[in-house]
Chains A and B, each alone.
Chain A
């Protein structure tokens, strides 16, 4: 039996098994380790070999050989967003060892289980080795040429029949920045906005919530800066497992400053085990808890009144909502005692600087955007934004989810957050040197449907696309409900698991209805086995980021250049080459790559990463992405040791990287030659803009309903403007007389951009960088100096309000705190009320009395295919499990380590998932937790046989998303993975 070992028992267990006894000592969660070396499925082959044989086979690639020169290559871990530097030892083109990267200011030599085992990725026993195609239900090996030709022909056929929007393009947070950018550009040339990536399902609501509050959707400070905090609240996040190396900074901060670490979570996480205070809440009550904290803050006058007066708009409306959340009501709804929240409130508001750290516990909710906005309001009320040790420390998920978001792999953005309005398209068309009309011609015309107006091509190119949370609904719903020309018919997926999206039984139907499915990934992923497709399915082996060059951006916006460690293994190819070849096949490669250099790659010419980054630099004014030239980024990697551990800054005296912040975190204003240092802490008025200082961004005009929404009496150090000001355009420049400071060349460029309307050229569209250069001289932020918006009037809930989850365990609260009325979100119906009402009417909470929530394990990542295929990791977690409280287990006759059935309210009657039980007080009574990395079982059945031979991960298991249910954020269509209901029984 596979169980997890504990206290010194693994070896004892193995021994006792050989002696025919089974030790039955206490079992802890981590165990699930092979006690007896007996393992399932794909492992059987491995364990049936004698150890000596395994050893010999593995040793072929391992260990540094004497007498052969060792090359050291620096790259970045491909798992979470901390961005740990990996140093690879390479001999004769083989990656033979990993060494600690002591110089990196971020990880200082360290790793977690995943980072310490990344070498296996390019060992790759279980990688997809060649392009494959499904022929009548059988996988067949094909050549790259055949694959590209057949896929391209089919895409053109779908385009002809149903339109460009009928091919859904899914990019990846595992791309390099350059890959992500090329994918977004590819979608623009193809003519659709239905291009998305993992940010949709991890922090899309953070990006929307935070950007709508103070300007940009990104972590404001950094992992390292947490060392300055005196109080940290970690709410809806478990960084000890999801971002282990970040704990190095958190725990050191806790020790040096004797800082208060407070964890607010439904689960007593491994992070909570290291906190000073743990607050257990009912899943789905984040807003009541935040308002409950702020109730004490306002009641006791602990708010930062000066900060609010100078830099915040609308706090009075927040105050009015908070007033409703007295301690009694918070306890009734969230289950948290008032006294505890009073203690938390006092620490957070008075022992400053304070930071709020959050992850997907906040974001993956039907009310995700509102949650994030409430979190921001707590920071604003206490004046904890824009200084060292403060801020919204949003820990993002994947290694380049920040970068892929920056590059516009999003249904409503072009690269660098320009949006998709006509002006944005015109800007990028200029950067790309392709006529705007060309892009317009590529988009579909959308006929009037179901009472909705028709859209012209021009309107359609400005309409956000289908999201990865709803693609299968866009395949299977009646055509009139999908707000585009036709349903989705084809899907091209790069680097994304199929088990990461909720409502898996529905996505299986979607998969089966697709005419074309292309999965481009180092592994087959769950897409390969999830459905009963028989044809029209292609798997393309893609190289990992260790097999190519390119930059990636960690959570704190530091951009790090990774160098190729080894050539792509097997028949793998780089993202760059595949996108280039697809563009060639579809007939727009010459235009798309006209200003990008090609270099000789494994299979022929492919885009050069440096050249792609230079193009990004030429157009990325809107987020300060222009100063990060490849040369500067490479210099940072070569000089990592010079950057300070806490400030992330290199000493001014250094000739190469002097004064820079590590990784040139955006905004890094102006051209590379200006040598702006990047911005470590966003919106920091205590520093000069040239030194990485700034203000809140003026994105929403200068006044709202008669009130001034520019900052009052607050400005960044050294600014010549000593009050709020709007974003910088030529019109503003002319009024200030600053246009005289532009050089002739800058002025000529601005006139070319502006044409008849030079006054409208702004800091975002000026391709010369003159406006930004002058701004830096004057010490002003190019994007203006506004108040942050406590109330975001353009969002569905301008003041965040509590709404019960769609499937609530408390139907009694639904009438008072209902979900939003049905509406349409991003081309799809969003039936909040209908589904919630049906759940209440059917008394779902009676038959599904346990709240189900999900999260991460340290050994695995994302959908988990890559990590479950790594034997060094897979050995540590061999079974999918559900954590269940001892009382709930006892009631059901469930024993620790036993098999259980779990089923949910949206599953077809009598279908069940099957997994192991972990009975633990880690979860509260009435709450169950599952890790989300498993796949390869579906409704209790092992799907191993459906993988192409030799590519099945070592460990398979039931996916939590077979159980998760309906529920979508009204702003971003974020899925609800954190609160649903289930029932559990012993199997």
Chain B
């Protein structure tokens, strides 16, 4: 089985936010919830670099480790998903997540958190694949249709790569060798406990 990963080539990312709006469009994510976002460091200065960030679908995901109701599960493709039926909106996973991925809608008048929402790697959730029930809770299930996450597919400069970890590693490696520079696979050591050596 493939081990699905995300890789953002920070030397290509121009912070155009296509990944962000593509995600909103694909899953009808409401205002205020951001499954993906672009982070820029050294904004406006030499050395400025941007990285598109979402749930990295970690190996041994820390969110799953802290969840009191055990709502997380990892698919055969190594995608980390969760059940909104089980989630109690406690927010522990937010503290555990090294990437700030979990999002919580505000529900009720006292600012209480609703059920957690995050990037599904366009792989839906526990409901039957590609059903309206699944769509309503988790958005569309592209993986089940044989497609990759829309954010990576629509990335303007092909900075954001998604797919089998070995394949995207190879693409990135060839790119770095050809151009002679590369600031590395951002977040990989944290998420996947490995890095890409070129």
* Cα of A117 to Cα of B26 in the assembled complex, Å: 9
Please name all residues of chain A whose beta carbon is closer than 8 Å to the beta carbon of B132 when the two chains form the complex.
Answer: 63, 65-66
A247 touches B14 (CB 8 A): yes
Question: Which A847-896 residues sit within 8 Å CB-CB of chain B?
Answer: 858-859, 871-873, 875-876, 883
Please name all residues of chain B whose beta carbon is closer than 8 Å to the beta carbon of A254 when the two chains form the complex.
Answer: 179
B106 contacts A by Cβ under 8 Å:
yes
Q: Smallest distance from the beta carbon of A702 to chain B beta carbons, Å?
A: 47
B94 contacts A by Cβ under 8 Å:
yes
Nearest A residue to B148 by beta-carbon distance?
A100
Fill in one digit per residue for B91-120: 1 if any A CB lies within 8 Å of its CB, else 0: 100100001111111111001111000000
B18 touches A30 (CB 8 A): no
Partner of B25, one of A28, A120, A859: A120
Question: Which A236-289 residues sit within 8 Å CB-CB of chain B?
Answer: 240-241, 244-245, 247-248, 251, 254-256, 258, 268, 270-271, 273-274, 278
B191 contacts A by Cβ under 8 Å:
no
Please name all residues of chain A whose beta carbon is closer than 8 Å to the beta carbon of B135 when the two chains form the complex.
Answer: 59, 62-63
With known contacts A240-B14, A247-B157, A268-B46, A59–B28 Cβ distance under 8 A: yes
* Cα of A871 to Cα of B34 in the assembled complex, Å: 13
Nearest A residue to B134 by beta-carbon distance?
A63
B32 touches A7 (CB 8 A): no
A98 contacts B by Cβ under 8 Å:
yes
A987 contacts B by Cβ under 8 Å:
no
Partner of B16, one of A17, A46, A241, A872: A241
* Cα of A271 to Cα of B44 in the assembled complex, Å: 11
Please name all residues of chain A whose beta carbon is closer than 8 Å to the beta carbon of B40 when the two chains form the complex.
Answer: 6, 28-30
B155 contacts A by Cβ under 8 Å:
yes
Q: Smallest distance from the beta carbon of B17 to chain A beta carbons, Å?
A: 4
With known contacts A59-B136, A247-B157, A920–B43 Cβ distance under 8 A: yes
Q: Smallest distance from the beta carbon of A42 to chain B beta carbons, Å?
A: 11
With known contacts A59-B28, A111-B18, A113-B21, A6–B39 Cβ distance under 8 A: yes
Please name all residues of chain B whose beta carbon is closer than 8 Å to the beta carbon of A240 when the two chains form the complex.
Answer: 14-16
With known contacts A5-B37, A7-B39, A58-B28, A270–B107 Cβ distance under 8 A: no
With known contacts A59-B135, A63-B135, A111–B156 Cβ distance under 8 A: yes
A29 touches B43 (CB 8 A): yes
B32 touches A109 (CB 8 A): no
Please name all residues of chain B whose beta carbon is closer than 8 Å to the beta carbon of A113 when the two chains form the complex.
Answer: 16-18, 20-21
* Cα of A18 to Cα of B32 in the assembled complex, Å: 13
With known contacts A51-B33, A113-B16, A245-B156, A37–B43 Cβ distance under 8 A: no
A117 touches B21 (CB 8 A): yes
Nearest A residue to B180 by beta-carbon distance?
A258
A268 touches B45 (CB 8 A): yes
With known contacts A15-B91, A251-B157, A270-B48, A876–B20 Cβ distance under 8 A: yes
* Cα of A112 to Cα of B18 in the assembled complex, Å: 4
* Cα of A55 to Cα of B33 in the assembled complex, Å: 11
Question: Which A1-60 residues sit within 8 Å CB-CB of chain B?
Answer: 5-12, 14-15, 17-18, 28-30, 34, 37, 39, 43, 46-47, 50-52, 54-56, 58-59
* Cα of A100 to Cα of B154 in the assembled complex, Å: 6
B18 touches A922 (CB 8 A): no
B155 touches A876 (CB 8 A): no
* Cα of A9 to Cα of B156 in the assembled complex, Å: 24
B156 touches A110 (CB 8 A): yes
Fill in one digit per residue for B125-162: 1 if any A CB lies within 8 Å of its CB, else 0: 00000111001100110000000001001111110000
Please name all residues of chain B whose beta carbon is closer than 8 Å to the beta carbon of A37 when the two chains form the complex.
Answer: 32, 106
A921 contacts B by Cβ under 8 Å:
yes
A248 touches B157 (CB 8 A): yes
Please name all residues of chain A whose beta carbon is closer than 8 Å to the beta carbon of B11 when the two chains form the complex.
Answer: 274
A8, A11, A97, A271: most-surrounded residue (chain B CB, <10 A): A11
Please name all residues of chain A whose beta carbon is closer than 8 Å to the beta carbon of B49 when the two chains form the complex.
Answer: 273
* Cα of A325 to Cα of B15 in the assembled complex, Å: 38
B22 contacts A by Cβ under 8 Å:
yes
Please name all residues of chain B whose beta carbon is closer than 8 Å to the beta carbon of A59 when the two chains form the complex.
Answer: 28, 135-136
A9 touches B100 (CB 8 A): yes
Q: How many residues of A contact B (CB 8 A)?
A: 78
Please name all residues of chain A whose beta carbon is closer than 8 Å to the beta carbon of B150 when the two chains form the complex.
Answer: 100, 116
Nearest A residue to B155 by beta-carbon distance?
A110
B193 contacts A by Cβ under 8 Å:
no
A47 touches B32 (CB 8 A): yes
With known contacts A11-B94, A248-B158, A858–B178 Cβ distance under 8 A: no
A268 touches B14 (CB 8 A): no
A51 touches B32 (CB 8 A): yes
Q: Smallest distance from the beta carbon of B140 to chain A beta carbons, Å?
A: 6
A872 touches B104 (CB 8 A): no
A255 touches B157 (CB 8 A): no
A119 touches B48 (CB 8 A): no
* Cα of A278 to Cα of B154 in the assembled complex, Å: 29
Please name all residues of chain A whose beta carbon is closer than 8 Å to the beta carbon of B17 when the two chains form the complex.
Answer: 30, 112-113, 858-859, 876
B106 touches A51 (CB 8 A): yes
A779 contacts B by Cβ under 8 Å:
no
Please name all residues of chain B whose beta carbon is closer than 8 Å to the beta carbon of A119 when the two chains form the complex.
Answer: 25
A582 contacts B by Cβ under 8 Å:
no
Please name all residues of chain B whose beta carbon is closer than 8 Å to the beta carbon of A120 when the two chains form the complex.
Answer: 25
B43 touches A255 (CB 8 A): no
Please name all residues of chain B whose beta carbon is closer than 8 Å to the beta carbon of A10 when the two chains form the complex.
Answer: 34, 37, 100
Nearest A residue to B160 by beta-carbon distance?
A110
B12 contacts A by Cβ under 8 Å:
yes
Partner of B156, one of A28, A56, A112, A875: A112
A732 contacts B by Cβ under 8 Å:
no
Please name all residues of chain A whose beta carbon is closer than 8 Å to the beta carbon of B31 when the two chains form the complex.
Answer: 39, 43, 46-47, 54, 871, 875
Please name all residues of chain A whose beta carbon is closer than 8 Å to the beta carbon of B100 when the two chains form the complex.
Answer: 8-12
B1 contacts A by Cβ under 8 Å:
no
Please name all residues of chain B whose beta carbon is closer than 8 Å to the beta carbon of A883 when the two chains form the complex.
Answer: 44
A64 contacts B by Cβ under 8 Å:
yes
Please name all residues of chain B whose beta carbon is closer than 8 Å to the beta carbon of A970 when the two chains form the complex.
Answer: none
Please name all residues of chain A whose beta carbon is closer than 8 Å to the beta carbon of B178 when the two chains form the complex.
Answer: 255-256
Please name all residues of chain B whose beta carbon is closer than 8 Å to the beta carbon of A34 when the two chains form the complex.
Answer: 32
Partner of B130, one of A66, A117, A268, A271: A66
B18 touches A52 (CB 8 A): no
A115 contacts B by Cβ under 8 Å:
yes
B30 touches A54 (CB 8 A): yes
B38 contacts A by Cβ under 8 Å:
yes
B105 touches A52 (CB 8 A): yes
Nearest B residue to A43 by beta-carbon distance?
B31
* Cα of A51 to Cα of B107 in the assembled complex, Å: 7
* Cα of A129 to Cα of B185 in the assembled complex, Å: 48
Nearest A residue to B33 by beta-carbon distance?
A51
Please name all residues of chain A whose beta carbon is closer than 8 Å to the beta carbon of B102 when the two chains form the complex.
Answer: 11
* Cα of A193 to Cα of B96 in the assembled complex, Å: 66
* Cα of A59 to Cα of B50 in the assembled complex, Å: 31
Q: Smallest distance from the beta carbon of A663 to chain B beta carbons, Å?
A: 20
B24 contacts A by Cβ under 8 Å:
yes
* Cα of A41 to Cα of B26 in the assembled complex, Å: 27
B76 contacts A by Cβ under 8 Å:
no
Q: Smallest distance from the beta carbon of B43 to chain A beta carbons, Å?
A: 4
* Cα of A675 to Cα of B139 in the assembled complex, Å: 47
B189 contacts A by Cβ under 8 Å:
no
With known contacts A52-B105, A258-B180, A922-B43, A247–B28 Cβ distance under 8 A: no
Q: Smallest distance from the beta carbon of A927 to chain B beta carbons, Å?
A: 12
Please name all residues of chain A whose beta carbon is closer than 8 Å to the beta carbon of B99 when the two chains form the complex.
Answer: 8
Question: Which A820-862 residues sit within 8 Å CB-CB of chain B?
Answer: 858-859
Q: Smallest distance from the beta carbon of B115 to chain A beta carbons, Å?
A: 10
A115 touches B44 (CB 8 A): no
B interface residues with partner A (beta carbon < 8 Å): 11-12, 14-22, 24-28, 30-34, 37-41, 43-46, 48-50, 53, 91, 94, 99-108, 111-114, 130-132, 135-136, 139-140, 150, 153-158, 175, 178-180
15 A–B contact pairs at CB < 8 A?
A8-B39, A8-B99, A47-B31, A58-B28, A100-B153, A109-B153, A111-B18, A111-B22, A116-B154, A117-B25, A248-B157, A268-B46, A274-B11, A872-B20, A921-B44
Q: A30-B15, A51-B32, A51-B33 are in contact. List 4 more A-B contacts (CB 8 A).
A: A51-B30, A100-B153, A112-B18, A116-B25
